[in-house]
Structure 1
């Protein structure tokens, strides 16, 4: 709902003073005076008198199209702490009582000494300027503070609405006449103090620093109320030529101009001779404190979340009809954008990701942690190991946001690996089966003529297209086993067998209900590709965190959201995405049974008992070992932990990461420990209740056997519990867990 109507003083009518001037000078004289005020050569006015008359003046609009002042927008965390600022004009409007009296006097002394005597247009000033410009080689202007205020308001309106900007030096006669007419009208509607306050808040002082409060902060790191005589004179002197007289670049010019202002202040009785002498003899003491703008200057580690929120605003028609207008609203609209981000969790996530996978030591290797709150979808943290930069300049500098889909500034995503296996198990249970029911995981290959059930596809089936060898990490895992055992150890042949006995469309129905889509196209997973059950689709960490939050919440899917509220400088509230949840997305009873397996994976294999509150989750490694995952949850928070290569599919095996050499890589070796370290700090800051218990029979999912009560925790592998899944290698000498994976045979 971008504002398009005028506000403030609204429509201002009246041109009595202009009519008096017209009668006094005559039209030709007035045009000459206008030329003087505009510092136009006399030759440019030759034909003007024939074009301008009383009728033209009457037809000129006296409406001051006024928008709220262009002010910075701020992105804030959930507690109102500033994350980043956006502005085209850095400005902080203040009331006149909060502006030093010295500053008020200085600008009057140099810009409009008869400010309190005229009614918007200074006839004496026009006459003086006309005589001066005729008799001198230099040019003198005659615009009053009121006229300058009007001009700045018009420029502000044009900037906010993407119109042609008319500034001093480019005005034509009708522009100047209109400015004068509106100035007279403004004087009838506003007091002198209101005009002076408006002027001091709107005028440019240097660069993109507008208004006296921002200027005082920029040059002196103080408020406008605290400006002394010399500082006030320097700032007032800048108005004539904000960049040319900037004391940073031209200290001599700035000093001379300041002293000229001080002379006017003394001549007009604003300061004493003693105050004048003291100020003139002093040096300009700068304490330059620029206000950063944009996500590049956001708090360290918060840049990627900042970029995500900016992308969301630029895509939302509520902020303008097109991307350019939305950016103008962000840069000029004074938006207060309160997000869902928890800064404590964010800082912990950034520190953990950078500690576990140092970006400057491992070029091309990324890490990300993203946390969502299950019952709201609120994004609480979005961090990665790289440093936000536009254009890669140094190792570890990157603009791409690992956590999000392509449309929001991410890449094409990363293969999900075994993290999709719990959703296969959900489809298995949806057919009335139990996690303790047997599955024949002995099949090593599915030939090209094999089809998988897929009720939503033509003929109700999906074809493989070519022979599909299904690899397990250990040869002795090709055998009958319980479904929970197959999921606990992430046995590829068990997952594929379950999908073959179920239905691919039923599986994608469940992933779609959990909000899982591809990162590049934002499309539901395609059941036509059976390899999806081993994690071939490329997804983003945010998508997977939200998907797993459906498991953590007991079946409710909530769309991820980044905004709590957005309010503009006029107090107008903008509609932000509300909490949008589907409480019946997944079957809660099936989740209870599934949690018996996922809590074992998280607590026993990933945390190894080092987290003292209930957790659940699943590891994942893609076929190339270039993407490693652990996605886990508590009763309130879900966090996706990812590490891998972002510029290629080269394996992470053979890499040294954080001082450790990895001959083999698995989700449990990098992504898992990163998740644990982060959640040890983040988890206790929110609810960590017990997960609802399953009423049916359960056992130890790590124990081999087809009957309840079996307790062989080695799963027949003699393998360490410290390692993850998910390789398609058939190396029977491997010391890794038999958790396999992931996207075997994938050509997707």
Structure 2
């Protein structure tokens, strides 16, 4: 059915021509081909248009274009991308010459001859639009670029609507901005920005992303047929989307090829030949975000790690915008070989829909570099498939899961505290099956534990006379309860925190049962803490990122290793010697032994709701956890559950989490260097010094909490005259800035005003 065109009068045509003439006069680009008398005949309409134009801003600032961010593994391979618009900016020299000529041929063939306004094309467009033929565009490439810039930089819905509204006011604004661009920038710059700005459909912004998306080649390698296809998409990227409407795309491509032949961009014969060929698409999808990547939960950890860094922006929203639009290159510590080993281990141990969750993390001692993060439930929102967005492998700050108690793996911190305090390895303690200890016999950083009711731990392994070696290897609860009574609660708690366990609530965590692992933690935290033993007492903060580059490839921020000696080397050497016995003949984990020197510790919590194995070689630390959890994350016992296809009568760290740990470690063992632990020395070492924080001006209670977290024994003295507000901390003894061993008594002095 044909469309009837509206009746066109001479006056209406002249009126529209008048708008263009006025614009031309105002901008100083009136051509000699237009007669001056026509202007006088147009009347007040042209004056109004000119007046409105004078009120528009002359120059439009071209802000940097949004670009996608790439996330790389430790070998430099892309593992994920973040973007609001899938765009990779390229210089004009990085675009194939045939692509440049194709886009000019179809969109603005006189681009390099005219200024901002192609008056001939614009007049033709106005006449044709008035007669109902809207198939011909009159905007120059510069005008289109100005329009796209306005739209891209619009911050509100109103501004976006204004940038696309079909009015002469918008057209005049576009022209004025185009003139400013022509005056301030070269034609090459304008064409380059145009190609990077343009939307090519199916989520591809800019010529580089489009070339990669539709043909799996860089823009520099596009051929004539591909260039014609992409050049044809700009007119209507949705309607000509080749993934949805290949026939329309091909017809549009052939129009471009014909035009290229007419303008001698290619020969007419070649244009005719290419028009007989198929599109030749080779679509490559660029994922946005972490879902579906090779390491989704590591990727999510990286994203959250950066969102927490103020260096990337004042607010979380600012940081998120930078990640999605900044064209960053994020270099991470991920090793995909380790990640595959971890994923295979968790998948084999626990099925996604089990009433259990398996999680595992690998950390390199001496650097803190996180090599892998894995869990048995895949990333997604379908509970029926066992999917989840909660990351159980990392601490709460980066994963949203609350964590799980780690059981007897925390005995290592009491063991280390005892050695730091000079308690000999040979110390023997009678450890019956059950004991009763008044809780006020445990000292804290501020005095004695306030609860007097008895604590009555019992053994689940062996009983009898034990020393530090046998008590640890056999994981004897009553032995460690009494050892903790000797060390006090302050130093083991402070050591665990210094070694990487995110302890934040002393009131609930720094209690007698701390030694049995009642504090919530994650595989990543525990792997980081045990890496401290592997590195002979040097703790390095866990870090998934080594460097961030800006869109120009220059360093935006480095993330160097942050390491500190937190326990004596002799302490770590003794812990290593004791824990390696767990994996030797006679130890609970002997079936988990590797072909490299290794050490480890099992952990099981009350009601067998979580079991752990934390183990390490001198060069790699891995913590594995299997916890009873339904699809909503509620804790349940592992006992009498089917986990990984096997029925579990009574869960234990050595028989459930241990094999998952061993599977992952054995898979990567061939790539680990053969390195042995250092034999413990009897040569005395100076105690580790800890810096005393400046708590001046704080409330005494808050100051006491902060200092106690460092392992100092804190008391509050008599008020002193001070410039500080009355009741606030005036100072400490020893003073802030000094260093002292953990367990040193520090007095806080409130201000008397």
| TM-score category (smaller protein) | 0.7 to 0.9
Query: SS state of the match for residue 653, structure 2?
Result: coil
User: What is residue 525 of structure 2 aligned with on the other side?
Assistant: 543
Query: SS state of the match for residue 117, structure 1?
Result: coil
Compared CA separation, residues 100 and 575, structure 1 to 2 (3 A): closer
Are 2:61 and 1:64 equivalent residues in the alignment? yes
Q: Which has the higher contact order (CA 8 A, sep 6+)?
A: 1
Query: SS state of the match for residue 382, structure 1?
Result: strand
Once the two structures are TM-superposed, the CA of residue 417 in structure 1 deviates from its matched residue by 0.1
Once the two structures are TM-superposed, the CA of residue 240 in structure 1 deviates from its matched residue by 1.3
Aligned match for 1:560, one of 542, 555, 568? 542
CA distance in 2, matches of 1:91, 1:540: 37
User: What is residue 605 of structure 2 aligned with on the other side?
Assistant: 622
What pairs up with 1:390-539 in 2 under 5 angstroms? 391-442=381-432, 444-446=434-436, 450-457=439-446, 459-463=447-451, 465=453, 468-473=455-460, 477=463, 479-518=464-503, 522-523=504-505, 526=508, 528-539=510-521
Task: Give CA-to-partner distance per residue, 1:599-621, whole Å, 9 cap, x none.
Answer: 11133332448423221221101
Once the two structures are TM-superposed, the CA of residue 510 in structure 1 deviates from its matched residue by 1.8
User: What is residue 353 of structure 1 aligned with on the other side?
Assistant: 346
Aligned match for 2:665, one of 658, 679, 683? 679
CA distance in 1, matches of 2:618, 2:86: 43
CA distance in 2, matches of 1:634, 1:338: 25
The answer (yes or no) to whether the contact 1:18–1:184 under 8 Å persists in 2 is: no
Most deviating of 70-79 and 45-54: 45-54
The answer (yes or no) to whether the contact 1:122–1:144 under 8 Å persists in 2 is: yes
What pairs up with 1:532-681 in 2 under 5 angstroms? 532-583=514-565, 585-604=566-585, 605=587, 606-608=589-591, 610-646=593-629, 647-681=633-667
Are 2:115 and 1:119 equivalent residues in the alignment? yes
Cα RMSD (Å) of the superposition?
Answer: 3.3
Normalising by structure 2, we get a TM-score of 0.79
CA distance in 2, matches of 1:70, 1:335: 10
Once the two structures are TM-superposed, the CA of residue 564 in structure 1 deviates from its matched residue by 1.0
Task: Give CA-to-partner distance per residue, 1:66-114, whole Å, 9 cap, x none.
Answer: 31x3222111111111111222222334444554444333322321122
What pairs up with 1:75-474 in 2 under 5 angstroms? 75-136=71-132, 138=134, 141-158=137-154, 164-165=159-160, 169-170=164-165, 176-299=171-294, 302-355=295-348, 357-360=349-352, 363-389=354-380, 391-442=381-432, 444-446=434-436, 450-457=439-446, 459-463=447-451, 465=453, 468-473=455-460
Compared CA separation, residues 543 and 554, structure 1 to 2 (3 A): same
Query: SS state of the match for residue 461, structure 1?
Result: coil
Aligned match for 2:51, one of 25, 50, 53? 53
Compared CA separation, residues 167 and 579, structure 1 to 2 (3 A): farther
Normalising by structure 1, we get a TM-score of 0.80
User: What is residue 28 of structure 2 aligned with on the other side?
Assistant: 20
Once the two structures are TM-superposed, the CA of residue 659 in structure 1 deviates from its matched residue by 4.4
Once the two structures are TM-superposed, the CA of residue 364 in structure 1 deviates from its matched residue by 2.9
Task: Give CA-to-partner distance per residue, 1:37-66, whole Å, 9 cap, x none.
Answer: xxxxxxxx9989547529826x72324333
Most deviating of 659-668 and 484-493: 659-668
Compared CA separation, residues 690 and 165, structure 1 to 2 (3 A): same
Once the two structures are TM-superposed, the CA of residue 629 in structure 1 deviates from its matched residue by 0.9
The answer (yes or no) to whether the contact 1:64–1:182 under 8 Å persists in 2 is: no
The answer (yes or no) to whether the contact 1:607–1:673 under 8 Å persists in 2 is: no
The answer (yes or no) to whether the contact 1:428–1:502 under 8 Å persists in 2 is: yes
User: What is residue 36 of structure 1 aligned with on the other side?
Assistant: none
Gaps of 5+ in 2: 1-22, 684-753
Compared CA separation, residues 451 and 108, structure 1 to 2 (3 A): same
User: What is residue 6 of structure 1 aligned with on the other side?
Assistant: none
Once the two structures are TM-superposed, the CA of residue 246 in structure 1 deviates from its matched residue by 1.3
Compared CA separation, residues 251 and 676, structure 1 to 2 (3 A): closer
The answer (yes or no) to whether the contact 1:451–1:462 under 8 Å persists in 2 is: yes
CA distance in 1, matches of 2:226, 2:268: 17
* Count of paired positions: 654
Compared CA separation, residues 675 and 153, structure 1 to 2 (3 A): same
Once the two structures are TM-superposed, the CA of residue 567 in structure 1 deviates from its matched residue by 0.4
Once the two structures are TM-superposed, the CA of residue 534 in structure 1 deviates from its matched residue by 0.9
Task: Give CA-to-partner distance per residue, 1:136-195, whole Å, 9 cap, x none.
Answer: 464754221112223334444457x99954675237666544432332233344443443
Once the two structures are TM-superposed, the CA of residue 315 in structure 1 deviates from its matched residue by 2.2
Query: SS state of the match for residue 253, structure 1?
Result: helix
Compared CA separation, residues 669 and 282, structure 1 to 2 (3 A): same
CA distance in 2, matches of 1:369, 1:532: 23
CA distance in 1, matches of 2:76, 2:48: 60
CA distance in 1, matches of 2:557, 2:157: 23
CA distance in 1, matches of 2:157, 2:317: 9
